[in-house]
Structure 1
Amino acid sequence: MEHLLTELSKYLLIIFFAIYTFQCFNVFKGRKSEEKMRKIYGRQTGFMFLIHLLGNVLIIMNEKELKYFIFYLAQLALMIIFLILYTKIYKKASRLVVNNMCMLMIIGFIMLTRLEFESALRQFEIAVVGLVLTLIVPLLIRKVKFFKKLTWIYAGVGIVFLAAVKVMGTTSYGAQLSINFGSVSLQPSEFIKIIFVMFVASMLYESTEFKQVVKATIVAIIHVGILVLSTDLGAALIFFVAYLVMLYVATRSPKYIGAGLGVGVIASLVSYKLFAHVRNRVIAWQDPLGSYSGSGYQVSQSLFAIGTGGWVGLGLYNGMPESIPVVKQDFIFSAISEELGGVFAICIVLVCASCFLMFLNIALQIKDQFYKLIALGLGTVYGFQVFLTIGGVTKCIPSTGVTLPLVSYGGSSLLSTLIIFAIIQGLYILRQDEGALYEVTKNKSGRKAPQDIRIEPETEKSLSDRRTTNRTKKKKHKGFETQFENLD
């Protein structure tokens, strides 16, 4: 009976997640009414909880201990309470971003519980703190107006904390990554990447003249240089790419991209020559089986796991993910591929892609240049980190030792990613406010609002209804204005 349920669950999990993933992209397909959008998000939520239930049924069936059932109930309660509070507090929030954030965390909980209960419990405790923060951060983004004025504070904080890691940090897998405070380990680079994006945004918001670009570049080089000296090359690469993308969008100058790529190539060659840690990873990428007994063992085991799982996977508890070194952090995608299947793993990639598209959508449409650059920078950080993780475990690129956001084990990674999602939600709400205020301006002045302002389907429908009512009943402007009197 247990074997039959395990076999059946493989296909049910894939079907449920495939439907969920389809709904992620259905959101972007044309204008939809508020009712249709609500149904899409409702279906997503339903399939999310079905996946959570089915995964935990398999875990409880295999482990046969009460603590796993209690842990499932705790996760369920956390997600339900969070979704209710979030939708009540932030009525304008993007449900797609919220659903994807919860879905990825649920997948992480399932796989971590299957791999090691203590790690899953620790991840859950950190998730509680992170979700509380996600209830606060959007309000700060919306209400606090001086973030763009803290330019050099961002720079100072980032450099000081990265330098502290270089001086006092502990070495893990060839890189100085974290600082230990008793039993608590903190990886500052996970949080500094957010501060770094805000620094670059505030610098380029003030000016895009050559002198300003030089100042920003010097500070960026200091950040990246400290990370390289700490041999935290994955984080250094994320910082570098985020800066290049933000610089190009702010200046629209291809020469900066060309110069940046040239410097990046030279820096890569120098790193290869200087650090044995980097050479080992390149060798493992080129021929993992040739160095199977050494540096290629981890990548080889990852590829074996992905190949063994095939399209539909072996089923939870039927694989051997424990044979992959650092499977809970850097290589959790391989464990998912082995036991839940290649189709399920591809759906994870697509869900992450839908998050990235939503980040870019907000960056393209928000009018304030400072917030536009923040959305773009954080979107680049998130998207590029996903690329580095999945590219490393599938041998598309050398392994860089970064985690899969919201899925891999790691308190600093989980907290920083939740903060990124919360900031994006704050920017999404700001964009909604901008759209509504432009509508008010248009109706007050009789002039057309700028053509590149787009409003989400929920807001578009309500504003369209108001415009129709205004035309048919010929209401006065004063009456129309009162409908928006509560807007900030």
Structure 2
Amino acid sequence: MINVIVELSKYVILTLMVIYTFHCFYLVKQQSEEERNESLRQQLMLIFFMDFTAFLVIYLKTGKFQVVLFYIEMMAFFAGIQILYRIFYKKASILLLNNMCMLLSVGFIMLCRLDVSTATRQLVIVAGVNVVALIVPVLIRKMKFLKDLTWVYAGIGIVLLAAVFVLAKTSYGAKLSLMGIQPSEAIKITFVFFMAALLRKGADFSKVVQATVVAGLHVGILVLSRDLGSAVIFFAAYLVMIYVASRNVGYLALGLAGGSAGAVVAYHLFGHVRQRVTAWKDPMAVYQNEGYQIVQSLFAIGTGGWFGMGLCQGSPEKIPVVKNDFIFSAICEELGGIFAICLILVCMSFFLMIVNIALKIKKPFYKLIALGLGTEYAFQVFLTIGGATKFIPMTGVTLPLVSYGGSSVACTVLMLAIIQGLYILREDEDEEIERYRRKGTAQRVEEAPEAQSPGDF
């Protein structure tokens, strides 16, 4: 009986995910307020039923009461964050909030299936950082001096990265963390704020040079620390923000050429880079060593097929570091390729929402922040999924909100809180424009000469 429930559940979960994904893009269309609110409520119901089905299956297969406790705690967290945002931020983007809850749900399902204690630690971190993140949107609205801290952001980033390079121990071939914290995740935010503050009044040659020097220091230290994934993310954000601020294709071309040359130099200088490229080119040839991870990842993806094997029916634990770097492979194995494609589309919807917010913001500082954070998010998703599927060499970064990792999930939640603040700012700008428009219309009506009746002639 349990096996029948497991087999049916994967189709139920897949159907709910497909409908949710459709809603993500359907909500982009212009709708009435009532229709939009109804669609957002339906999204919440889809998340609820997906979580209920998944955790029921995990409990039936494992028999662990901790799964039930975790499910109750997780649903309490989701209910709390939804209610609090609606109370404190009437203008917040509920679609952005729903997408965050959906991606967290997928992560919690897979982490709980792999290890309940790991999922519990992730939930505690997520709940704690969301309490802090609740004040971020109001800080973005009120703290006007953020645009004046240009070199403070640069100094914080360079000092913290240098400290990691000097003091951190090597883990999985790279220097990543100090005292269990990965500073590069937080520096993604400070780096974007530095670039936005520097380029907010334009991108003349001197400012481009300054931005390039600071970005080069960030990326260079990360490369020396062998944190290649983060280095690529920083470089991508730098290129996009320079191009948007200057609108100069030449800068973009020079940046791409410099990045390509830097990649070649890194390949010849660092054995760690050569190992990853070798594993990417022909993982079966080095299956016992460098290629083991990627081969197991490809086996998992192939085994899952389109519809997956069902929760607790696969063997994702055979993939090394599956909870961090290769959780996408575990999702493909047990929930299927169609579910994984929907997950990618939800992430794409996330990115498009951020770009839409950036395009509508009038103030350059906030516009650049939105574009920079959106670029970092999109590239992190690309690097994680690309590495797991052998589309690109493995870079060792996590899938935002889905993979296990305290620093990663905490900084992603804070990043989304900043985006919420920018969305609210955009709503404020729209209201202000509408207010001025109405005021101007009323003033023109008052100043217009009174219409003369026929008796006046």
TM-score category of the 2 structures, normalised to the smaller one? over 0.9
Aligned equivalents of 1:73, 1:118: Cα separation in 2 = 15
- Per-residue deviation at 1:475? 11
The structure 1 residue matched to 2:405, chosen from 385, 389, 410, is 410
Counterpart for residue 36 of structure 1: 35
- Supply the AA of the counterpart residue of 1:151: T
Kindly indicate whether residue 21 of structure 2 is the aligned counterpart of residue 9 of structure 1: no
Question: Runs of 4+ in structure 1 displaced over 6 angstroms?
Answer: none
Whole-Å Cα distance in 2 between the matches of residues 308 and 160 of structure 1?
A: 45
Q: Aligned partners of 2:151 and 2:186: how far apart in 1?
A: 17
Task: Please state how far the C-alpha of 1:446 moved relative to its aligned partner.
Answer: 3.0
2:324 aligns with 329
Q: Please list, as runs of the form range in 1=range in 2, the aligned pairs for 1:197-212 lying within 5 A after superposition.
A: 197-212=192-207
The alpha-carbon deviation at position 63 of structure 1 amounts to 1.8
Deviation track 1:179-226 (CA, whole Å, cap 9, x = no partner) reads: 01xxxx100000001000000000001442111111111111111111
Is 1:363 the counterpart of 2:358? The answer is: yes
Q: Which residue matches 2:128?
A: 129
In structure 1, which of residues 260, 282, 285 is the aligned counterpart of residue 280 of structure 2?
285
Partner residue of 1:119?
A: 118
Partner Cα distance (2:225, 2:128) in 1: 29
CA distance in 2, matches of 1:388, 1:57: 32
Structure 1 residue 10: Cα displacement = 0.6
Cα distance in 1 for partners of 2:442, 2:310 equals 60
Unmatched segments (≥5 aa) in structure 1 = 449-473, 477-488
63-72 or 300-309: bigger deviation: 63-72
Amino acid at match of 1:113: C
Q: Distance in 2 between matches of 1:163 and 1:121?
A: 32
Q: Residue in 2 aligned with 1:436?
A: 431
SS of corresponding position for 1:289: helix
1:20-419 matches, cutoff 5 A? 20-29=20-29, 31-180=30-179, 185-419=180-414
Aligned to 1:446: 441
Give how far 1:70 is off.
Answer: 1.1
Distance across 2 between alignment mates of 1:167 and 1:390: 30
Contact 2:202 2:246 in 1 (8 A): no
TM-score where L is the length of structure 1: 0.90
- 2:202 touches 2:245 (CA, 8 Å); kept in 1? no
Name the amino acid aligned to 1:172.
S
State how many pairs are aligned: 446
Provide the C-alpha distance between the structure 1 equivalents of 2:442 and 2:166, rounded to a whole number of angstroms.
Answer: 59
- CA drift of 1:447 comes to 9.9
Cα distance in 1, alignment partners of residues 45 and 314 from structure 2: 28
Equivalent residue letter for 1:108:
G
Q: Secondary structure at the match of 1:290?
A: helix
Q: Which runs of 5+ in 2 are unaligned?
A: 448-457
**TM-score, length-normalised on structure 2?**
0.96
Between the aligned residues of both structures, percent identity stands at: 56
User: 1:129 Cα shift?
Assistant: 1.1
SS at match of 1:330: coil
CA shift, 1:295, in A, is 0.7
Residue type at the aligned position of 1:365: K
- Report Cα offsets for 1:259-315 as digits up to 9, x if no partner: 101110110001101111111111111111111111111001000000000000000
Deviation at 1:386, TM superposition (A): 0.3
The structural deviation recorded for 1:21 is: 0.6
Q: Match of 1:483?
A: none
Instruction: Give the conservation status (yes or no) of the 8 Å contact 2:386–2:392.
Output: yes
SS in 2 for 1:255: helix
Q: Provide the C-alpha distance between the structure 2 equivalents of 1:65 and 1:120, rounded to a whole number of angstroms.
A: 14
